[in-house]
Amino acid sequence: MNRWIKNILVLSVIIALGIIFFYGFNAHLPSKLAVSNHYITEGEKETGAINIVSSIYLGYRAFDTLGETIVLLITVSSVVFLLKKN
Amino acid sequence: MDINILETVIIFLSINSLISLYRVIKGPTPQDRLIGLNLIVAQVTAIMVIASVNFRRPIYLDVALVYAILGYISIIAISKYLKGRKLHE
Amino acid sequence: MEKGERSEIVSIISRKLVPYILLFGLYLISYGHLSPGGGFQGGVVLGAGIILLCLSHGIFLTEKKFPLEKIAFLEAFMITIFILLGIVGLIIAKSFLGNIFPLKKIEEVPTAGFVFLLNLVIGLKVGAGIILIFYSLCERSEK
Amino acid sequence: MNNIPLFLIIIPLFTACLILLINFLKVPSILTKLISLSSIITILILIGFSTLNILIKKQIFIYNLGGWKEPLGISLHMDGLAWFSSLLGIIITLFGLIYSLKEKNYSFKFYFFFFILLSGMQGVILTNDIFNMFVFFEILSIASYILIAYSRENKAIKASFDYLLISSLGMSLFLLGIGFIYQGCGSLSLTGVGKNFNIANGIPPSMFQLAVSLIVVGIGIKAAFIPLYSWLPDAHAYAPTPISAILSGIMIKISFLAIWRIIHILEAINFQHFFLWIGSLTALIPVIWALSQTDIKKLLAYHSISQMGFIIASFGAGSSLSLTGSLYHLFNHAFFKSLLFFSAGAVIYATGIRDLRKLSELYKKIPSIAITSLIGALSISGIPPFNGFVSKILITTSLKEYPLPSFLIFLAGIGTVASFTKLMMIFFNREKAIQENLGNFSPNKIKKIPKALIYPLIFLSIICLLSGIFPSRIAQGISNFILLKDLAYPLKVYSPSNIGKSLTILGLGIFLYLLISTKRGKQISLALRKRELGLNNSLLLVLAGLVVFIIFMKVL
Amino acid sequence: MIIFILILTIIMAIFALQFKNLLNAVIVLAVFSLLLSLIFYLLHAPDVAIAEAAVGAGVATTLFVVVIGKTKRKENE
Amino acid sequence: MEFYLTFLLFLIGVWGMITKENLIKKIMGLNIVDSAIVLFFILIGHRQGSTAPIMEKGIKDVVDPLPQALMLTAIVIGICLTALALALVLKIDKKYHTLNISQIEKLSQNE
Amino acid sequence: MRLIAYFFLGMGVFFATFGNIGMLRFPDVYTRLQASSKCGITSIISIFIGLIILEGLNSVALRITVITIFFLITSPVSSHIIGRSAYEEGILPWRKEKPKDKQ
Amino acid sequence: MDIHQKWRIIRILLTTGYLIIGWLVFTGNFSPFSLSIGFLFSFIIAVFTYDIFIEKEEVARRALLPRISLLLIYPFFLIFKIYLASFKMVPAVLTEKIDPRIVHFRTRLKSDMARVLLANSITLTPGTLTLDLNNDHLIVHWLNAKTIHSHYAGKLIKGYFEIWLKKIWI
């Protein structure tokens, strides 16, 4: 019985969230893409990579990539540390 | 004209993969599900290749190759585990 | 995973396939700036190749070939190189992670020297990381 | 000079990698410790260099990474607030490092994780790009998950897993919020977002509210607001002591400061007022649980949430005095909470017991720890002349216009006094263990405490005392140099009425302590202790909190 | 087209969460990930499609399978 | 329409995280949530152009490359979290011999 | 030429459909595996041949050939390993008539 | 120089050669820079994986260098067979007239690669599916079993494949 109440509670919260997303989100927003347009037009010249995604990933936003590698490094270290035999 | 035909093929293939999905969900044994997974990998690779021809971007074909390789690896991993199950239980 | 358990077909096919998968991973890494792919994706494919080797030849043999210690060292070394590259950029190009190579014309194929280098570093690092995660998750059942 | 923000992030990272790398060569552990100590001192000196420029010349350091200008690439900004929180983080981390140096069973991995944690904190503070902030938050969180599970005890692992799930859900919400912002304004740098993402610029109000609430709830999980705090007590209690001090002392505050920055940039004024209510509830409710705890560190962990409530409520009031009070309390809390955690850690180190009921008469065996804990307890309870008193007075004066929140905060103050009286009883009480015949603790088994554990305690106590004695100077400094506002209020902290108020709270608190130490009170606290939220409920509460936040914003 | 595959993906997600047998859930999750990668592909994001296929089908599935192999097989009621 | 289905996917993942008792199921829910967010970003980027941002000769009308670059990072972080959570699950299984969250909570309270 | 390509594409769809139907209707793991492995690979090969004819011999055709060869190698292996795992697990093959004593 | 040493170098070079073919196929790019990078990568991979790619015992020349002309024709033959198999599959799917059995038989092929290819070819041909391969012992699932006698079944199933493969490898 308790479980049923809990399920209903969860469902109601999720449905409420769904309604909020449904009304809060506007799919037809006019988009302003000054930054991206610059990437598309100049990215090839400025970084030398034809693949613009690569040029953003490793050129313009390479610091993010550094952070991401650090995330991977610490994950690997912690998995090794956690599962190491004593 | 071509584009239409190619897209029709894509649509047919995706409807076909619906059947494989049914097997994945329904399949009484895990092996059945794996068969479904195998077939889905094949069909989706076909869809990707056709779509790449359709988009006129041959560069996209790398994705299909990666997809094929990794589908194979995942199937081998899962069936390896299925085999090892008797040792565990 | 004892020896009798292993399928000969899978083992032989994987034996012939793994070098090609690794090569494909390196292709993805080194052509990351020209076609889809890049450091991370290629690294994952490298890792998946080694995982396939583990699955088909057993983890002991693979670990003998690619020992855990060395791979861990490779990973730490690569991340250090990444940061060092950034610092070299700071000295040469006056900004952290700045481009330290001259940009050539785009017609020549592998132009983006810096992107290429970073892709290589990241790819090796990601591959090493994934193999390490797999090793350490597998480790306990062997005992 | 402009490179300082970069070095604040990179030097810890590089140190971490260096530690990892040199340990492949099987070097002695003393080298690891030496490297870590020297690195942290280096960045302390670096941030010291920047003091003059930032505070007096009111200069903002901007560093464009990779040479790409602001909207294209990522840039680091260091203004007064960032300087303040960065400095606070480094100091607390330094104390934590000194405290952990003497511990034998911390391998090099511990220092590695430790420095990544430090680097993540600096990154979150300094970055001016919202997605980069997400990445640094993830670095920070992963480092903290693994540090919480460092002891590999059952409860620590469980706490770490709970924290991982809840916090990842929060981070997903944050990322979704970033998606909304990007869709709305096509830019990711915080200044660009501030310029373009507001209702005046054509963003629909409902979307603005949704994005802001997603981001606030996502980060709020780390800052432990009222519906989102349930991971914190376990996580902070079962972490190693220096890590508890860092997590409680600085990490939750950094998350809060990130919210502070985002709300200021987005100019979500409605939301700021909402924080008044959230903060006052956050101050009160955890105190009730704290009163019922018997684990030393868990009690302290509940109090971190409660003190965060003071800070948040004062932030919500929004006047320059209350913002000053908020920052001042943040500053003080960082010091006295790490002091308390270090003392608790020393007690656990000496006796090997973390249950309050089993300990007694420790004053005779470890007088130094008893004194430092007493200083910490007096600070947190807001007794003059310690620093907690000053900031609490600032907060209560600034909240005068809002009667209900200030009443809730008053109640929270009483609860704080009561629970810290309960904590202090392990030092000054007699024969409690015999009375309840709970444990086999014998006072003779106490280990000798090494000096490295005591030095940070003494330093921290001195800071607590000093920042309590010169209140107006520090408050003026905070408001003039960091908030760049005039403190439009004649500061007179040590007035008789204020002291009387604090003494009233003290008396009521001791009375409350007497109440809960009766038989009936013990039964109630046992029942409360059993009634902790499970993982599922906490996850549900996150979503429910999100719904409530959004609905509240719609109503306002 | 994309909507159709997306609906299939959602169905797969529901089933992945609903299966009692964890191994079946992992298989379905692999299918989910592959279909998602197809969607990325059709949305002209080949980089992300490669990453998702590599991560979802290759690494995550293998890790899940290893962990499930070491813990119990059936989900406890 | 795709956006709303993406939100539905997100909510399904969250629902799985909240209601499922098994820890591995919770991690799967987390995976689904991550995927939904990635899909959301890609959809945002897709709205403008019509082909991938790889500038071969004669290609002009491309989709927004920035969300794709961001999502590569997000995918890496997602897999990292999954791996770490799975390692913790292994550890939990070793200590408590069950993966059911309510049983684990009962056991850890009795300690 | 184009018509031949379309013919091959149609054949690919045809075989894919039959493979799927076979997988749906057959009674046990092995027979389903038979249907799926054969028809799956045939449909893939047909489609790829069709596309190669459509595109002409250039880098695309080369890449498609690589994928085809890869499929030719791996698809039977994965079928084999699925079948083998079923066989080792002791799933008995379906028989038309009830199994008698001999064999 | 020791014979093992020599053999190792030969294996590394052979592996490199095979891998460079793969590189060319992957990239489709013949510029000198790409080729040199490809050579470098192939060599590195070969150094790491040469004893996986070519086993120490595989000394026979034909096992390493198959007859290229026949090897190139073989896929077309195989594809033809596959088409035949699939057309036979269609009525089976429609009518469900099947009589599946499991049969065992042996093969005379020596080279590993040849045996594996035989098993794969059997999987791809009408109504048969290799379940296991143990040295030279094959277990095959047969959809429309005509006989269960090991010798005849072997003859029927292996068909021309064995002869072809024997010509290509050993």
Q: Where are the domains of chain H?
A: 3-57, 68-168
Give chain D positions within 8 Å (CB) of F105. Answer: 534-535
| Cα atoms in the Cβ-side hemisphere of radius 13 Å centred on D151 | 18
The percent of chain D in helix, strand and coil, each rounded to the nearest 5, is 80, 0, 20
Higher-pLDDT residue of D274, H58: D274
Higher-pLDDT residue of F101, E73: F101
CA pair distance F13, H4, nearest whole angstrom: 57
Helix (H, G, I), strand (E, B) or coil at H106: strand
E45, F70 Cβ separation under 8 angstroms = no
* Predicted local distance difference test score (pLDDT) of residue G97: 63
* Predicted local distance difference test score (pLDDT) of residue C141: 47
Residue H83: enclosing H or E segment and its boundaries? Answer: helix H68-95
DSSP letter for each residue of H156-167: HHHTTHHHHHHH
HEC-encoded secondary structure of D243-264: HHHHHHHHHHHHHHHHHHHHHH
Q: With an 8 Å Cβ cutoff, is F16 touching chain D? A: no
* Predicted local distance difference test score (pLDDT) of residue E77: 36
Give chain E positions within 8 Å (CB) of A54. Answer: 47
* Interface E:G, ≥3 CB–CB pairs < 8 Å: no
A30, F45 Cβ separation under 8 angstroms = no
Architecture of domain F2-48+63-110 in CATH?
Orthogonal Bundle (1.10)
Q: With an 8 Å Cβ cutoff, is B55 touching chain F? A: yes
C87, C123 Cβ separation under 8 angstroms = no
Residues 6+ apart with CB under 8 A from G37: B38, G75, G76, G79, H123, H124, H129
Residue B86 pLDDT level (bands cut at 50, 70, 90): very low
DSSP letter for each residue of E14-64: HHHHH-SBHHHHHHHHHHHHHHHHHHHHHTT-HHHHHHHHIIIIIIIHHHH
Report domain extents, chain B. Answer: 5-83
D272, D318 Cβ separation under 8 angstroms = yes
Residue D230 pLDDT level (bands cut at 50, 70, 90): confident
* Predicted local distance difference test score (pLDDT) of residue D142: 92
Helix (H, G, I), strand (E, B) or coil at H141: strand
Report domain extents, chain E. Answer: 2-70
Residue H139 pLDDT level (bands cut at 50, 70, 90): confident
Q: Tokens for D280, please give them.
A: 């006052």
Q: What is the pTM of this model?
A: 0.93
Helix (H, G, I), strand (E, B) or coil at F102: helix
Tell me the residue range of the domain where C114 lies: 8-142
- Residue B84 distance to chain C (closest CA, Å): 7
Q: Tokens for G96, please give them.
A: 């038309």
Residue B87 pLDDT level (bands cut at 50, 70, 90): very low
> Which chains are adjacent to chain E, needing at least 3 Cβ pairs under 8 Å?
A, B, C, F
* Predicted local distance difference test score (pLDDT) of residue E76: 44
Q: With an 8 Å Cβ cutoff, is F54 touching chain B? A: yes
Q: Tokens for D242, please give them.
A: 């220096």
Which amino acid is it at D49? Answer: F
Tell me the residue range of the domain where A71 lies: 2-82
Residues 6+ apart with CB under 8 A from D463: D335, D387
CA pair distance D230, D542, nearest whole angstrom: 10
Distances (CA, A) of D235 to A61, C2, D149, E63, H88: 33, 41, 9, 26, 64
Summarised one tens digit per residue, pLDDT across range C2-55 is 334 567 788 888 888 889 889 988 888 888 888 888 888 899 999 988 888 888
Q: What is the mean pLDDT of residues G54-78?
A: 83
- Residue G5 distance to chain C (closest CA, Å): 28
CA pair distance D17, C137, nearest whole angstrom: 23
Q: With an 8 Å Cβ cutoff, is F72 touching chain A? A: yes
Indicate the number of domains in chain C: 1
Q: With an 8 Å Cβ cutoff, is C108 touching chain H? A: yes
CA pair distance A32, D433, nearest whole angstrom: 69
D320, D486 Cβ separation under 8 angstroms = yes
Q: Which residues pair with D355 in a beta bridge?
A: D295
Give chain B positions within 8 Å (CB) of G51. Answer: 49-50, 53
pLDDT tens across the length of chain F (111 residues) = 888 899 999 999 999 888 888 888 999 999 999 999 999 999 888 876 778 888 877 777 888 888 889 999 999 999 999 999 999 998 888 888 888 888 888 888 876
Q: Is the pLDDT of residue B75 over 50?
A: yes
Q: Is the pLDDT of residue D439 over 60?
A: no
D385: preceding bond cis by omega (within 30 degrees): yes
Phi, psi values for residue D43, rounded to 5°: -70, -25
* Interface D:H, ≥3 CB–CB pairs < 8 Å: no
H40, C13 Cβ separation under 8 angstroms = no
Q: Which residue of E has its CA nearest to A53?
A: E47
CA pair distance D312, H143, nearest whole angstrom: 73
Helix (H, G, I), strand (E, B) or coil at D444: helix
F32, F12 Cβ separation under 8 angstroms = yes
* Predicted local distance difference test score (pLDDT) of residue D132: 92
Around Cβ D258, how many Cβ atoms within 10 Å?
25
Which of D423-427, F78-82, G38-42 ranks highest by mean pLDDT?
A: F78-82
Q: Which residue of F has its CA nearest to E5?
A: F2
* Predicted local distance difference test score (pLDDT) of residue G103: 44
Q: Is the pLDDT of residue D493 over 80?
A: no
Q: Is the pLDDT of residue D511 over 70?
A: yes
Give the least confident one: D112-121, D374-383, D398-407, H148-157.
H148-157
C44, E54 Cβ separation under 8 angstroms = yes
Distances (CA, A) of G39 to B46, G45, H118: 13, 10, 19
Q: Is the pLDDT of residue D55 over 50?
A: yes
Q: Decide if D67 and C95 are in contact by the 8 Å CB cutoff.
A: yes
The CATH topology of domain B5-83 is Helix Hairpins (1.10.287)
CA pair distance D23, D233, nearest whole angstrom: 34
CA pair distance F78, F38, nearest whole angstrom: 10
Asked, for residue C2, whether it belongs to a domain, the answer is no
Q: With an 8 Å Cβ cutoff, is H30 touching chain C? A: no
Q: Which residue in A24, A26, A62 is closest to D66 by CB distance?
A: A62
Q: Decide if C79 and D66 are in contact by the 8 Å CB cutoff.
A: no
Higher-pLDDT residue of D434, D36: D36
Around Cβ D343, how many Cβ atoms within 10 Å?
31
Summarised one tens digit per residue, pLDDT across range C82-137 is 888 888 888 887 777 777 777 665 555 555 667 888 888 889 999 999 998 888 88
Give the least confident one: E15-24, G83-92, H75-84, H145-154.
H145-154
Q: Tokens for B44, please give them.
A: 């989706």
Q: With an 8 Å Cβ cutoff, is D235 touching chain F? A: no
Q: Which residues pair with D151 in a beta bridge?
A: none
Q: Is the pLDDT of residue E75 over 60?
A: no
Summarised one tens digit per residue, pLDDT across range D527-538 is 888 777 788 888
ipTM above 0.90, yes or no: yes
* Interface H:E, ≥3 CB–CB pairs < 8 Å: no
* Predicted local distance difference test score (pLDDT) of residue D29: 81
Q: With an 8 Å Cβ cutoff, is A59 touching chain D? A: yes
In this structure, the dihedral spanned by the alpha carbons of residues C7, C9, C10 and C14, taken in order and rounded to 10 degrees, is 140
* Predicted local distance difference test score (pLDDT) of residue D137: 92
Residues 6+ apart with CB under 8 A from E47: A51, A53, A54, C36, C37, C38, C41, F68, F72
Q: Decide if B33 and E46 are in contact by the 8 Å CB cutoff.
A: no
Asked, for residue C1, whether it belongs to a domain, the answer is no
